[in-house]
Amino acid sequence: MSGPRIVYNEGYLDEQTKRVVRRALLKGVAIPGFQVPFASREVPMPRGWGTGGVQVTASIIGPDDTLKVIDQGADDTTNAVSIRAFFEKVAGAASTTRTDEATIIQTRHRIPETPLTDNQIMVYQVPIPEPLRFLEPRETETRRLHALEEYGLMYVKLYEDIARYGHIAKTYDYPVLVNNRYVMAPSPIPSFDNPKMHQSPALQLFGAGREKRIYAIPPYTDVESLGFDDYPFEPQRFEQPCEICESTEVYLDEVLIDDQGGVMFVCSDTDHCERTLTARELDQSNTDQSNTDQSSTDPITDHITDPLTEVNA
């Protein structure tokens, strides 16, 4: 036998498969919030690690695109690094960590803090695309419920939460009603991010590889988080600012800093944090030199900012 035995296609997915995915995407865009079954392929990473998002991104990415990949809001979490490296390798795609420079943002569990524009596409990695799954495990049944727009189960669940806990006990993957028709799982983003989906100028695509479903929200579509008139949807709030960049109204990660229960709250969106910090430091160094010296002697802050500066490099 001559030539290498094992040959992979350029860009990994073959054109035929990209077409299959694109057709599903088009159908998804045409029926906002509807889960389109598609022949999900294996991709060279485990199922459940973003294989749906990877297939969507692989099918829409072109030579002019700039890709940003985040996991938990961060560009430098291991899986985000791994997926970005995959596309750099197989698609030769340009990549960035800056939200405002990206044309495609593949994400797991967050929507960036920086407002999106109509030149951008969000690609969500979705573990369980069916919002009714934990209320009704059978696909045959849930598809029927969606077809009949029968969402009583979901409202009963939310009502029971209120009866039991005093408020809706759903903090992430908080169900939304898309275009006033389909109840949709927004993927496990915190409910903090839900309002960003409503009337977003960016196209939002959702890929569930293991579950073999694709769905979409076209730009400027109504996305309403479920609630009741007397118990409306309430996104999470953080009272404190980020301890690195002092941003408020952003999603924060709680970082344990010692074994005495000490914690600090920092931005989950590393790009936002880094840019806010840079802007603030620039401001400060213009006015007061000594302040920056003080912050760099803090060992904790040093530890946290280390990986952030690594991304810069």
Q: Is 307 in the site for other proteins (CB under 8 A)?
A: yes
Q: Which of 3, 6, 163, 297 touches other proteins (CB under 8 A)?
A: 6
Give the binding range for other proteins (CB under 8 A) out of 67-75, 94-102, 216-224, 271-279: 67-75
Place of tokens 């009741």: 228
Q: Is 253 in the site for other proteins (CB under 8 A)?
A: yes
Are 236 and 190 in contact by the 8 Å Cβ rule? The answer is yes
- From the CB of 12, what's the least distance to other proteins, in Å? 7
- From the CB of 188, what's the least distance to other proteins, in Å? 5
Are 58 and 232 in contact by the 8 Å Cβ rule? The answer is no
CA distance 174 to 189: 8
Return the number of the residue (132 or 221) whose C-beta is nearest other proteins.
132
Among 273, 268, 282, residue whose Cα is nearest residue 244: 273
Exactly one of 28, 92, 245, 262 is catalytic; which is it? 245
State yes or no: is 152 an active-site residue.
no
Q: Is 240 in the site for other proteins (CB under 8 A)?
A: no
Q: Is 41 in the site for other proteins (CB under 8 A)?
A: yes
Q: What is the full DSSP assignment across 116-166?
A: P-TT-EEEEE-S---TTTTT---HHHHHHHHHTT--HHHHHHHHHHHHHHS
Return the number of the residue (219 or 235) whose C-beta is nearest other proteins.
235
The interface with other proteins within residues 261-300 (CB under 8 A) comprises 268, 270
Q: What is the full DSSP assignment across 179-233?
A: TTTEEE---S-BGGGHHHHTT-SSEEEEEETTTTEEEEE-TT--EEE---SSS--
Give the binding range for other proteins (CB under 8 A) out of 97-105, 138-146, 241-249, 286-294: 138-146
The pair of structure tokens assigned to 8 is 């992979």
The interface with other proteins within residues 168-227 (CB under 8 A) comprises 169, 171-173, 188-192, 210, 212
Return the number of the residue (88 or 149) whose C-beta is nearest other proteins.
88
Q: Is 61 in the site for other proteins (CB under 8 A)?
A: no
Segment holding 182, helix H or strand E: strand 182-184
State yes or no: is 33 an active-site residue.
yes
Task: Give the other-Cβ count within 10 Å of 54's Cβ.
Answer: 26
Backbone angles phi, psi at 176, to 5 degrees: -125, 155
Q: Is 256 in the site for other proteins (CB under 8 A)?
A: yes
CA distance 62 to 253: 33
Q: Is 58 in the site for other proteins (CB under 8 A)?
A: no
Q: Is 47 in the site for other proteins (CB under 8 A)?
A: yes
- Name residues whose C-beta falls within 8 Å of residue 26's C-beta, 6 or more positions apart in sequence: none
Query: Burial level of 272, CB count in 10 A (0-12/13-18/19+)?
Result: buried
Place of tokens 């934990």: 134
Exactly one of 92, 209, 242, 262 is catalytic; which is it? 242
State yes or no: is 52 an active-site residue.
no
Backbone angles phi, psi at 177, to 5 degrees: -105, 120
Task: Give catalytic residues, as residue numbers.
Answer: 33, 242, 245, 267, 273
Instruction: List residues near other proteins by CB under 8 A.
Output: 5-6, 8-9, 12-14, 16-17, 37-39, 41-44, 46-49, 51, 71-74, 76-79, 81-82, 85, 108-110, 127, 137-140, 165-166, 169, 171-173, 188-192, 210, 212, 236, 251-257, 268, 270, 303-304, 306-307, 310
